[in-house]
A and B are shown apart, each in its own frame.
Chain A
Amino acid sequence: MAEGAAPVLDVRGLKTVFRTRGGEIHAVNDVSFQLRRGELLGVVGESGSGKSVTMMSLIRLLPSPPADIRKGEVLLNGRDLLKMSPEALREVRGARVGFVFQDPMTSLNPVFTVGDQIMEPLREHLGMTKEMAERRAVELLELVGIPDARKRLKSYPHQFSGGMRQRVMIAIALACDPDVLIADEPTTALDVTIQAQILELVKDLRQKLGMAIIWITHDLGVIAGIADRVMVMYGGQVVEQAPVGELFANPQHPYTRALLQTIPRINGPRETRLKVIEGQPPILSAPLAACPFRARCEYRHDACDRMNPARRPVDGRPVGQGHDVACHWQAPARVEAAHA
């Protein structure tokens, strides 16, 4: 990817809070990242790390209340999505930013045909007539690899398998040729062979269409296969960010290192037990005053309890451009790569 080119998406200091009866939950804390044209950014982290909430905050998809986007800027081609009127935002959703959700079984409306649901954004955003939209819908279904597309337009979601439905979701997200496609664990609900098919499809579509993609997952194997850059999230903040090869070769944050160690190996001696990271991710009922990972960290020291580490560059390039990490601990110069 061309370095220095203006990013499609520039997120600065995003902070999202859930207001609940039991107080506030600080789900997203000062998240900043950039997405360049044509780039695929992988976002990893365990459940509750704030991945999905961050991405849904970008287009204000979280129900409010309880969600409240406190701070930050989300610049899409220079326009701040957080300051837009609801009407202007609607023209971004589905048109400039496509979203694919985790569970294809429930993400499509059961009482409308697949064709209707693909044609909806086309008619809404591009003002297409029914005939034009129908032609485009057939193209889209063919693009995502659904055979007999013209006939399938009249089918209902329940007449499709899970993998096929996710293809339909992708077709909907791509309908208006968006600048950014956000895929929120799109393969988690699918079985492994279908996962592989969807991954191949996305790789292929990326080459054909050239949009930027944010791919949320907790599957590091998936990330290694498709991402250009990886952002590791923990406790609602970015703890490490690096080009994919660099991250796997030279992980800096204890959490990233632990994550990489949890991947079972297919070769080498058989381990008796799979590795786990002991403990639970924190529930953030107050703004972070210390490192969120300290309770589970093997390198914990005084500084970790006193302040939340800021992101610092690892390879000399500015934060967000190259490799950066949010940790007080200095990893030894070069560890033996866990997996390359």
Chain B
Amino acid sequence: MLTYTLRRLLLAIPTLLLISLVIFLLVDLAPGSPASEIPLTVPPEVRAKILEALGVNEPVHIRYLLWLKQFFWVEPLNGFDAIFGTHYAEGMQRIISYQSRSPVFPLIGERLPQTLTVIGTAYLVGVLIALPIGIYSAYRQYSLFDQFGTMFAMIGFSVPTFFTGTLFIIIFAVWLGWFPTKYNTTLVVTDWASFKEQLRQMAMPVMVLGLANAAAISRYMRSSMLENMSQDYVRTARAKGMSERTVVLKHVLRNSLIPVVTVIALGIPSIFGGAIITENLFGVNGIGSALIQAIRGNDLPMVQTLAFIFAILIVTFNLIADLLYGMLDPRIRYD
């Protein structure tokens, strides 16, 4: 397992380098100029100087290599300095956002917590709703509950979040007045009251995204359960006199979870990617909306960096999913 992990990690290096090159070039070749964000009132020679200072005029391969160095060396050093109070990274040039002219990583650091709390909770809620629905739907296939579960999944799949989101806002915020319409990013949880307030403002985006997540995962869970329910070993467990509970929740579930856990693990990077539409709809000031702003403003370093971070997360969670598979299924050995 260890050698397998190391081999996979080594293999990830060329993969990620290639991805970084593609991302960098794609974003770089896209039409638009960083100069477009500079107000027209700025005189041309100042404009030229700003661009000069941003390093825009360097040839593309120089900018790529510099960005790589910044991403893999300067920024981690800065992170190290920030944690341990050292000064190794002093004087080194960091990845600078064209829009705010400040380093990209602290900007991402500001946005990430919002995304992780809201989208992460939504994912967790989605999984927690999906698993029981999937399990029980499969156990009582074609029952009323199963029909309901199927309908639930179909709605979650087919109705876009901008629609459910708006609907939720109208029903729960406008008509019923249970939850605030907008997410307040500045709220800091310090006591019970502010914690309750945080829960209230998270409720709607979490429900909207949770519904969408639960739809897919509940279907995976159901079909995986069904596949295992008719296996011979299930009959053996019944013939041994095991209770239905043990048969379903131990024998069948343990086997059915193997593919589902993989699917869940592969979905985790999407949490970090944020949910662009939902974040915008509820005013959650997270990564998703940061990405949209950066794309609109031709903020190439920001877009490149965010896209590459997602790529790293996806590669990492792919590896984690594979390792989990090996841990859950004794028939699979990596050596």
- A residues apposed to B, CB below 8 Å: 59, 61, 90-95, 98-99, 101, 103, 106-112, 120-121, 124-125, 156, 158, 169, 172-173
Contacts and interface: CB of A to CB of B under 8 A. Distances in A.
A110 B330 contact: yes
B232 interface: yes
B239 interface: yes
Contact of B331 (A107, A110, A120, A121): A110
B87 interface: no
Contacts of B238: 61, 93
B235 A107 contact: yes
A59 B241 CA distance: 10
Contact of A169 (B231, B236, B254, B331): B236
A83 B239 CA distance: 17
Count chain A CB atoms within 10 A of each CB in B233, B242, B258, B329 and give the residue with the most. B233
A98 B240 CA distance: 7
Contact of B240 (A94, A110, A156, A158): A94
A111 B330 contact: yes
Contacts, number: 74
B251 A109 contact: yes
A159 to B, nearest CB: 9
Given A107-B232, A108-B233, A59 B254 contact: no
Contact of B236 (A92, A109, A111, A125): A109
B241 A125 contact: yes
B119 to A, nearest CB: 32
Contact of B241 (A93, A103, A107): A93
Closest A-B pairs by Cβ, 10 of them = A94-B241, A94-B240, A93-B241, A99-B239, A106-B232, A109-B233, A156-B330, A121-B240, A90-B241, A107-B232
Nearest to B232: A106
Contact of A120 (B231, B235, B242): B242
A314 to B, nearest CB: 35
A108 B240 CA distance: 11
A92 B240 CA distance: 9
Given A106-B231, A108-B233, A112-B254, A158 B330 contact: yes
B232 A101 contact: yes
B173 interface: no
Given A109-B255, A110-B255, A111-B328, A61 B235 contact: yes
A297 B236 CA distance: 38
B13 to A, nearest CB: 34
Interface string B241-277: 1110010000100110010000000000000000000
B330 to A, nearest CB: 4
A240 B255 CA distance: 43
Contacts of A61: 235, 238-239
Nearest to A109: B233
A94 B331 contact: no
Nearest to B229: A63
A109 B236 CA distance: 8
B89 interface: no
A111 B254 contact: yes
Nearest to A125: B241
A2 B255 CA distance: 47
Given A94-B241, A110-B329, 18 more contacts: A61-B239, A93-B238, A94-B240, A94-B242, A99-B236, A101-B232, A109-B255, A110-B255, A110-B330, A111-B255, A111-B258, A111-B330, A120-B240, A120-B242, A120-B246, A121-B242, A124-B246, A125-B241
A59 B240 CA distance: 11
B314 interface: no
B237 interface: yes
Given A101-B232, A101-B236, A106-B231, A156 B331 contact: yes
Most buried by B among A90, A103, A109: A109
A103 B232 contact: yes
Nearest to A118: B240
Instruction: Name, among B236, B241, B243, B251, the residue most crowded by chain A CB atoms within 10 Å (CB to CB).
Output: B241
A173 B239 CA distance: 9
27 contacts: A92-B241, A93-B238, A93-B239, A94-B239, A98-B239, A99-B236, A101-B236, A106-B232, A106-B233, A107-B236, A108-B233, A109-B233, A109-B236, A109-B237, A110-B233, A110-B255, A110-B329, A111-B254, A111-B329, A120-B242, A120-B246, A121-B240, A121-B241, A124-B241, A124-B246, A158-B330, A172-B236
Residue in B239, B246, B255 with the greatest tally of chain A CB atoms within 10 Å: B239
A110 B255 CA distance: 8
A124 B330 contact: no
A98 B239 CA distance: 7
A120 B236 CA distance: 11
Contacts of B241: 90-95, 121, 124-125
A172 B240 CA distance: 8
B329 to A, nearest CB: 7
Contacts of A111: 254-255, 258, 328-330
Contacts of B254: 109, 111-112
A44 B251 CA distance: 32
Contacts of B255: 109-111
Contacts of B231: 106
A124 B235 contact: no
Contacts of A124: 240-242, 246
Contact of A158 (B232, B237, B242, B331): B331
B272 to A, nearest CB: 31
Nearest to B233: A109
A68 B241 CA distance: 20
A156 B328 CA distance: 13
Contacts of A109: 233, 236-237, 251, 254-255
Contacts of A156: 330-331
Contacts of B240: 93-94, 120-121, 124, 172
